[in-house]
Chain A
Amino acid sequence: MEYLLASGVGVLTAAGVYMILRGRSFPVVIGMALLSYAVNVLLFSMGRLTIDRPPVLLLELDNYTDPLPQALVLTAIVISFGMTALIVVLALRSFLESGSDHVDGETAEGGTRE
Chain B
Amino acid sequence: MSLVLIALLPFIGAILPALMIRAGRNACALTAGSVTLTSLILLLSYAPAVFGGEVIQARFEWLPGLGLNANFFLDGLGFFFALLILGIGLLIIVYARFYLSKQDPMGLFYVYLLLFQGAMVGITLSDNILLLLIFWELTSLSSFLLIGYWKHLPEGRQGARMALMVTGSGGMAMIAGMLILGNIAGSYDLTVILQSGEAIKASPLYLPALLLILGGAFTKSAQFPFHFWLPHAMAAPTPVSAYLHSATMVKAGVFLMARMWPALAGTPEWFYIVATAGLVTMIVGAWISIFKDDLKGLLAFSTVSQLGLMTMLLGFGTPMAALAAVFHILNHATFKAALFMTAGIVDHEVGTRDAKRLGGLVTLMPITATIAMIAAASSAGLPLFNGFLSKEMMLYEASHTYYLGQEWILPVLATVGAVFSVAYSARYAIHVFLGKERHDYPSHPHDPPFGMWAPAGLLVVLVVAIGLLPQAIAGPLVQVASNAVTNGTAPVVDIKIWHGVNAALIMSMIALALGLLLLWRYGTFVALRQRFPRPEAKDIFDRLVDRTAAAATFVTDGLQNGSLQRYLATMVATMILVGAAGFFGGSHGAGTRATLPISPLGLIGWLLLVAACLTLVFFHHRRLLTLILVGVIGLIVSLGFFYFAAPDLALTQISVEVVTVILLLLALNFLPKQTPVAEFAPRRWRDAVLAGLAGLGVAGLTLAITTRDFFAGSISEFHLANSYPGGGGTNVVNVILVDFRGFDTYGEIIVLGIAALAIFALLESSLHGKASKRLANWVPETARAFDSHPLLLVVASRALLPFALLVGIFIFLRGHNEPGGGFIAGLVVSIALIIQYMASGFQWAHARVRVDYHAVIGLGVLVAGLTGVAAWIAERPFLTSDFTYVSLPVVGTFEVATAMAFDVGVFLTVVGAVMLALANLSRIGRLAETGGGSHPIASQH
In the complex where A17-B694, A37-B637 touch, is A75 in contact with B596 (Cβ < 8 A)?
A: no
- Asked if A88 contacts B667 (CB within 8 A), the reply is yes
- How near does chain A come to B833, taking the closest CB pair, in angstroms? 16
Q: Pick the contact of A48: B593, B745, B751 (CB < 8 A).
A: B593
- Asked if A27 contacts B917 (CB within 8 A), the reply is no
- Asked if B715 contacts A12 (CB within 8 A), the reply is no
- How near does chain B come to A67, taking the closest CB pair, in angstroms? 4
Tell me which residues across on chain A come within 8 A of B691, comparing CB atoms: 13-18, 21
- Asked if B670 contacts A95 (CB within 8 A), the reply is yes
Q: Does B660 belong to the interface (CB within 8 Å)?
A: yes
- Asked if B596 contacts A18 (CB within 8 A), the reply is no
- How near does chain A come to B702, taking the closest CB pair, in angstroms? 4
Complex: A11 Cα to B692 Cα, angstroms: 8
- Asked if B606 contacts A8 (CB within 8 A), the reply is yes
Hey, what's the 0/1 contact readout for B760-775 against A, CB within 8 Å counting as 1?
0011001001110011
Hey, what's the 0/1 contact readout for B703-736 against A, CB within 8 Å counting as 1?
1011101100011100110011000001111101
- Asked if B644 contacts A93 (CB within 8 A), the reply is no
- Asked if B626 contacts A30 (CB within 8 A), the reply is yes
- Asked if B698 contacts A86 (CB within 8 A), the reply is no
- How near does chain B come to A28, taking the closest CB pair, in angstroms? 8
Q: Pick the contact of B771: A10, A24, A97 (CB < 8 A).
A: A97
Complex: A39 Cα to B836 Cα, angstroms: 33
- Asked if B648 contacts A74 (CB within 8 A), the reply is yes
- Asked if B637 contacts A41 (CB within 8 A), the reply is yes
Tell me which residues across on chain B come within 8 A of A8, comparing CB atoms: 606, 609-610, 640
CB interface residues, B 595-624, toward A, < 8 Å: 595-599, 602-603, 605-606, 609-610, 613-614, 616-617, 620, 623
- Asked if B917 contacts A85 (CB within 8 A), the reply is yes
Q: Is the interface of B mostly helix, strand, loop or mixed?
A: helix
- Asked if A67 contacts B733 (CB within 8 A), the reply is yes
Complex: A31 Cα to B623 Cα, angstroms: 12
- How near does chain A come to B676, taking the closest CB pair, in angstroms? 7
Q: Pick the contact of A89: B630, B724, B762, B770 (CB < 8 A).
A: B762
Q: Does B752 belong to the interface (CB within 8 Å)?
A: yes
Tell me which residues across on chain A come within 8 A of B744, comparing CB atoms: 72, 75
Complex: A9 Cα to B733 Cα, angstroms: 23
Q: Does B569 belong to the interface (CB within 8 Å)?
A: yes
In the complex where A55-B731, A74-B649 touch, is A96 in contact with B678 (Cβ < 8 A)?
A: no
| Closest A residue to B916 using CB positions | A85
Tell me which residues across on chain B come within 8 A of A19, comparing CB atoms: 616-617, 620
- Asked if B660 contacts A81 (CB within 8 A), the reply is yes
- Asked if A92 contacts B671 (CB within 8 A), the reply is yes
Tell me which residues across on chain B come within 8 A of A9, comparing CB atoms: 698-699, 702
Q: How large is the interface on B (under 10, 10 to 19, 20 to 34, 35 or more residues)?
A: 35 or more
Q: How large is the interface on A (under 10, 10 to 19, 20 to 34, 35 or more residues)?
A: 35 or more
| Closest A residue to B593 using CB positions | A48
Listed residue (A49, A55, A83, A104) with the most chain B CB atoms within 10 angstroms of its CB: A55
| Closest A residue to B752 using CB positions | A82
CB interface residues, A 37-57, toward B, < 8 Å: 37-38, 40-42, 44-57
In the complex where A14-B692, A71-B741, A104-B563 touch, is A26 in contact with B736 (Cβ < 8 A)?
A: no
- Asked if B646 contacts A17 (CB within 8 A), the reply is no
- How near does chain A come to B576, taking the closest CB pair, in angstroms? 10
Q: Pick the contact of B656: A49, A57, A81 (CB < 8 A).
A: A81
Q: Pick the contact of B706: A2, A20, A55, A113 (CB < 8 A).
A: A2
Tell me which residues across on chain B come within 8 A of A22, comparing CB atoms: 565, 620, 675, 679, 687
- Asked if A46 contacts B705 (CB within 8 A), the reply is yes
- Asked if A55 contacts B771 (CB within 8 A), the reply is no
- Asked if A104 contacts B723 (CB within 8 A), the reply is no
Q: Pick the contact of B596: A21, A51, A93 (CB < 8 A).
A: A51
**How many residue pairs at the A-B interface have CB separations less than 8 Å?**
327
- Asked if A56 contacts B819 (CB within 8 A), the reply is yes
Complex: A38 Cα to B678 Cα, angstroms: 27
Q: Pick the contact of A51: B644, B690, B716, B732 (CB < 8 A).
A: B644
Complex: A4 Cα to B688 Cα, angstroms: 22
Q: Does B199 belong to the interface (CB within 8 Å)?
A: no
- How near does chain A come to B773, taking the closest CB pair, in angstroms? 9
Listed residue (B606, B695, B819) with the most chain A CB atoms within 10 angstroms of its CB: B695
Q: Pick the contact of A65: B627, B640, B644, B752 (CB < 8 A).
A: B644
CB interface residues, A 51-85, toward B, < 8 Å: 51-58, 64-68, 70-75, 77-85
Hey, what's the 0/1 contact readout for B46-87 against A, CB within 8 Å counting as 1?
000000000000000000000000000000000000000000
Complex: A28 Cα to B623 Cα, angstroms: 12
| Closest A residue to B647 using CB positions | A54
- How near does chain A come to B604, taking the closest CB pair, in angstroms? 10
In the complex where A4-B603, A68-B715 touch, is A55 in contact with B667 (Cβ < 8 A)?
A: no
Complex: A85 Cα to B44 Cα, angstroms: 66
- Asked if A27 contacts B620 (CB within 8 A), the reply is yes
- Asked if A18 contacts B687 (CB within 8 A), the reply is yes
Tell me which residues across on chain B come within 8 A of A74, comparing CB atoms: 648-649, 652, 733, 737, 823
Hey, what's the 0/1 contact readout for B652-691 against A, CB within 8 Å counting as 1?
1100100110011001101110011011000000011011
- How near does chain B come to A45, taking the closest CB pair, in angstroms? 5
Hey, what's the 0/1 contact readout for B636-648 against A, CB within 8 Å counting as 1?
0100110111111
Q: Pick the contact of A21: B565, B609, B731 (CB < 8 A).
A: B565
Complex: A21 Cα to B724 Cα, angstroms: 47
- Asked if B771 contacts A109 (CB within 8 A), the reply is no
| Closest B residue to A59 using CB positions | B730
In the complex where A56-B730, A58-B817, A89-B917 touch, is A96 in contact with B714 (Cβ < 8 A)?
A: no
- Asked if B752 contacts A109 (CB within 8 A), the reply is no
Tell me which residues across on chain B come within 8 A of A2, comparing CB atoms: 591, 595-596, 703, 706-707
Complex: A27 Cα to B679 Cα, angstroms: 13
Complex: A89 Cα to B730 Cα, angstroms: 39
In the complex where A3-B703, A29-B664 touch, is A56 in contact with B732 (Cβ < 8 A)?
A: yes
Complex: A38 Cα to B609 Cα, angstroms: 12
- Asked if B609 contacts A90 (CB within 8 A), the reply is no
- Asked if B766 contacts A67 (CB within 8 A), the reply is no
Complex: A75 Cα to B821 Cα, angstroms: 12
- Asked if B770 contacts A71 (CB within 8 A), the reply is no
- Asked if A33 contacts B660 (CB within 8 A), the reply is yes
Q: Does B758 belong to the interface (CB within 8 Å)?
A: yes
Tell me which residues across on chain B come within 8 A of A24, comparing CB atoms: 672, 675-676, 678
Q: Pick the contact of B737: A44, A65, A75, A95 (CB < 8 A).
A: A75
Tell me which residues across on chain B come within 8 A of A107, comparing CB atoms: none
- Asked if A65 contacts B598 (CB within 8 A), the reply is no
Q: Does B748 belong to the interface (CB within 8 Å)?
A: yes
30 contacts between A and B (CB under 8 A): A1-B599, A5-B702, A8-B610, A13-B695, A15-B616, A16-B691, A17-B690, A19-B616, A22-B565, A24-B672, A34-B613, A40-B637, A54-B819, A55-B716, A55-B732, A67-B719, A67-B736, A74-B648, A74-B652, A75-B737, A75-B745, A78-B823, A81-B659, A82-B751, A85-B755, A89-B759, A93-B763, A96-B774, A101-B672, A109-B676
**Given A15-B614, A26-B623, A71-B734, 19 extra CB contacts under 8 A:** A1-B602, A2-B706, A7-B610, A13-B694, A17-B687, A33-B664, A49-B644, A54-B647, A57-B731, A67-B716, A67-B719, A68-B714, A71-B737, A78-B656, A89-B759, A90-B762, A92-B671, A101-B671, A104-B563
Across the A-B interface, give the 7 residue pairs with the lowest CB-CB distance, nearest first: A10-B699, A14-B695, A6-B703, A96-B771, A57-B730, A18-B691, A82-B755
> Which residues of A does B touch, CB under 8 Å?
1-30, 33-34, 37-38, 40-42, 44-58, 64-68, 70-75, 77-86, 88-93, 95-97, 99, 101-104, 109, 112-113
> Which residues of B does A touch, CB under 8 Å?
562-565, 568-569, 572, 591, 593, 595-599, 602-603, 605-606, 609-610, 613-614, 616-617, 620, 623, 626-627, 630, 633-634, 637, 640-641, 643-649, 652-653, 656, 659-660, 663-664, 667-668, 670-672, 675-676, 678-679, 687-688, 690-692, 694-703, 705-707, 709-710, 714-716, 719-720, 723-724, 730-734, 736-737, 741, 744-745, 748, 751-752, 755-756, 758-759, 762-763, 766, 769-771, 774-775, 817-819, 823, 827, 910, 913-914, 917, 921, 924
